[in-house]
Structure 1
Amino acid sequence: MRKSLISSVAAILLLSGLSLSAKTLASVDGDEITDKDISVMLRAMPGVSYDQLPEDMQKKVLEQAIERKLLAKQAKSEGIQNSKEFKDALEDAKEDLTLEVWMRQQMNNAKVSEGDMRKFYDENKEKFVQPELVKAKHILVQNEKEAKEVIAEIGKAGAKASEKFSELAKSKSIDPAGQNGGELGWFSKDQMVPEFANAAFALQKGSYSKTPVKTQFGYHVIYAEDKKAQAVLPYEDVKPQIEQNLKIQKFRDSVSSTAKKLREKAQVTFK
């Protein structure tokens, strides 16, 4: 139970960015609505932040925040804060808030040294292995005949096969990526269906599939633009991730230790 509480609060603190500053997004009758207000509303959606939402969703969330502010003002005007129900709920909220603010302070106080981070990296390099990657583009058509015709056209382009491939992707591919010349960017083997992945990773850099590749989506022609061998990511690339993970672990250990000591001293009775 204690681990669950600590983990939940740690997640909340990370989602809120551990920031004490607030950015004003709107105001209602002079009352500000800040990014912190929005963060509170989004807590029910772990991993979601306001800045990452599409513009139309941001507008909807902000409208909900405005509505929430107006309803809260109405509730205050009706004297809800003087009711016993409100006062009881406020006491419960105070305890939750007290714990959350205290835990935020503990999280901020958790420090990780350069030596700790470097040691973790050196002892856990297998956790930072970047798999083999391929950067590719593709053309997706409905049948094998079309795919073979595409391959033939690319073959006629000779040294300009890459340019021809992009041109054909825009005019013939039924995949949305066709609008961008069939570009798929970098991907690992497990990010694609097996038939596509096996064909793509078998290609040499700068080559394309000479026979159609059949998947559940149709028939593909694949062009391998670049390849990266499996490698351990450099320390500097993963340092922020290591720092965050070690900081969370240090926070959890500290809070667990404090809770254990307090439990040993406390007089607890069950009824």
Structure 2
Amino acid sequence: MQKRTLAAAALLATTVSFAAPVFAQDTTTSDTAAETAQTTGATETAADGDAVVATVAGTPITEAQLQETVNQFKGQFGQMPEDQMRAIALSSLIDMKLISDAAADEGLDETDAFKTRMEQLREQELYNAYFDQVISKQITDDMLKARYDEEIAKAPKMEEVHARHILVENEAEANEIIKELDGGASFEELAKEHSTGPSGPEGGDLGYFTKGQMVPEFEAAAFALEPGKYTETPVKTDFGYHVIEVEDKREKAPVAFDQIKPQLQQLVAGEKYNEVVNDLKQGDTVVIEDKDLQASYDAVNKMQK
């Protein structure tokens, strides 16, 4: 039913969008003022969700119903003006009411298939409501922060280095650069002058990186250096010959709590969900008649745990 509503809304939106530029060209100061007044009035009406915006065969459509439908459509029609969006939503609600009344007149709501579908929808909505209002509400920020600290403590520590490099095409040129460094030349200035890599203009600065981010030969040489030291022999890779200098080494900082909070919320919610479901399954609550299906069911549940 909702799919048909959205399809009708999309069709109407196409019509409205074609008409909109024509009206926009004729907008005057007074028209703008009137439009502002209408928008203000709509906002005031929105404060009263019980306000009736239309009736269909004597059945009211409230502001709350209209706003809920508008919210469903937002994001589908770009930056469409609010008044047009409300018109689309209202048209969809009216169409749905008219068609559903016609279906009831045909007795379609009395069929076994319809009643089965309604029971399925009821169970789905109750399932969602329980998850949102019971399970999710058990999860606090303190609980998530404690889980964050626990996971960070278990995570392996990662070292990262801050390095610069000078990339040249041949070994002889790399050796000449090392001689200049031995003589006290600035690594940063030599990188700007000689490096063919994209970091050359920035003095060869590669920032911080961890193991696994660079090609193996480069990585091995960089992590073997102490801060303030540079490679005494050129490092060959598929890109050419590198002279590498390490500026700093440190333990990689863990991802910030706020950044990973949504994933933690999902993780803890999943665990809470499993706890609730397992408690509800205690005893002989669930009986599966088919033994083969029982075995498959047990295997799936074991895997989920």
TM-score band, normalised by the shorter chain? Answer: 0.5 to 0.7
Who is 1:154 aligned against? 181
Tell me the matched-pair count.
201
Q: Secondary structure at the match of 2:78?
A: helix
Choose 1 or 2 for highest CA Rg. 2
How much is the aligned-residue C-alpha RMSD, in angstroms? 5.0
Q: Taking structure 1 as the reference length, what is the TM-score of the superposition?
A: 0.52
Matched, 1:251 2:264: no
Q: How does 1:74-85 map to 2 (within 5 A)?
A: 75-76=88-89, 79=92, 82-83=95-96
Structure 1: how far apart are the matches of 2:83 and 2:173?
60
* CA distance 1:72–1:112, shift in 2 (3 Å): closer
Say whether 1:65 aligns with 2:92.
no
The aligned residue for residue 144 of structure 1 is: 171
Alignment check: 8 A CA contact 1:134 1:200 kept: yes
The partner residue of 1:200 within 216, 222, 237 is 222
Give, in angstroms, the shift of residue 137 of structure 1. 0.8
- In structure 1, how many angstroms separate the alpha carbons of the residues matched to 2:85 and 2:138? 34
Mapped pair 1:110 → 2:133: no
Whole-Å separation in 2 of the counterparts to 1:245 and 1:260:
23
1:170 counterpart = 2:192? yes
Change (3 A) 1:243 1:77: closer
Counterparts in 2 of 1:110 and 1:212: CA distance versus 1, 3 Å: same
Question: Could you tell me whether the CA contact under 8 Å between 2:211 and 2:219 is conserved in 1?
Answer: yes
Letter aligned with residue 134 of structure 1: V
Gaps in structure 2 of 5+ consecutive residues: 1-37, 44-70, 104-117, 290-305
1:221 CA drift (Å): 1.1
1:103 is displaced (CA, Å) by 3.6
- Please give the per-residue CA displacement for 1:103-155, whole angstroms capped at 9, x wherever unaligned: 444334313757x938974x984x33322322111112233233223223322
Counterparts of 2:81 and 2:123 in 1: how far apart (Å)? 23
Question: In structure 1, what is the equivalent of residue 14 of structure 2?
Answer: none
**Distance in 2 separating the partners of 1:79 and 1:247:** 36
Query: Cα 1:65–1:144, aligned 2, differ >3 Å: closer, same or farther?
Result: farther
Partner letter of residue 151 of structure 1?
Answer: I
Query: 1:51 is matched with which residue?
Result: none
8 Å Cα contact 2:148/2:257 also seen in 1:
no
Deviation (angstroms), 1:207: 1.1
Could you tell me how far 1:243 is from its partner in structure 2?
7.5
Q: Normalising by structure 2, what TM-score?
A: 0.47
1:242: how far off?
9.1
1:197 shift after superposition: 0.8
C-alpha separation in 1, matches of 2:194 and 2:83:
53
> Superposition pairs for residues 232-247 of structure 1, below 5 Å?
none
Q: 1:81, 1:132 → 2: CA distance?
A: 63
For the residue of structure 1 that corresponds to 2:212, the secondary structure is helix
**Higher relative contact order (CA closer than 8 Å, sequence separation 6+):** 1
How far is the alpha carbon of 1:246 from its aligned partner?
Answer: 6.3
Residues 199-238 of structure 1 correspond to what in structure 2 (within 5 A)?
Answer: 199-228=221-250
- Name the SS for the 1:190 alignment partner: coil
Q: Which moved more, 1:258-267 or 1:167-176?
A: 258-267
Q: Distance in 1 between matches of 2:170 and 2:83?
A: 58
Instruction: Quote the Cα distance in structure 2 between the aligned partners of 1:129 and 1:212.
Output: 32
